[in-house]
Amino acid sequence: MQPSAPTAVADTTNGLNTSLGVIIDKMQNIPDIAFYIAVTIGLMLYVIGWFGGIRNNRWQAVLSTIVAMAVGFFALPVPAFLVKLTAPLLGATISLAIVYTLWLFLIILVGISLYETWIVTAKEQFFNHS
């Protein structure tokens, strides 16, 4: 009988395993307090937005959200590339957290800007003639 070949394989990814399962595992390791704070802030912002005028412009808000989500989804290769670029410097978990947090901010700004363009600019254009 010949001896079996070693089963260990050298890690050539610099600690970055980009499978979906690994990313989901890392997301599930977020502390519970961060989850509760995020959900509370999200609900609070929704209530503030509701009384601030979203209820009068529901469809524009929904359409802005859908467009921002589509932009974010179809441009996901950008943050994936940035994670691969920064992971050797910062570590996979920290790189993933920083890049995707900044990516979420960008997509939120896209949605807000689109909503503001449709609502505020349209109102200024049509109702503020002197």
For 80-116, the pLDDT digits (tens) are: 888 888 888 988 888 888 888 898 899 988 888 888 8
For 4-50, the pLDDT digits (tens) are: 554 544 444 545 555 666 666 766 776 778 778 878 887 887 788 77
CA pair distance 88, 2, nearest whole angstrom: 38
For 39-78, the pLDDT digits (tens) are: 888 788 778 877 877 778 788 888 888 888 898 888 888 8
The model's pTM is 0.60
CA pair distance 129, 43, nearest whole angstrom: 37
Nearest to 49 by CA among 97, 121, 112: 112
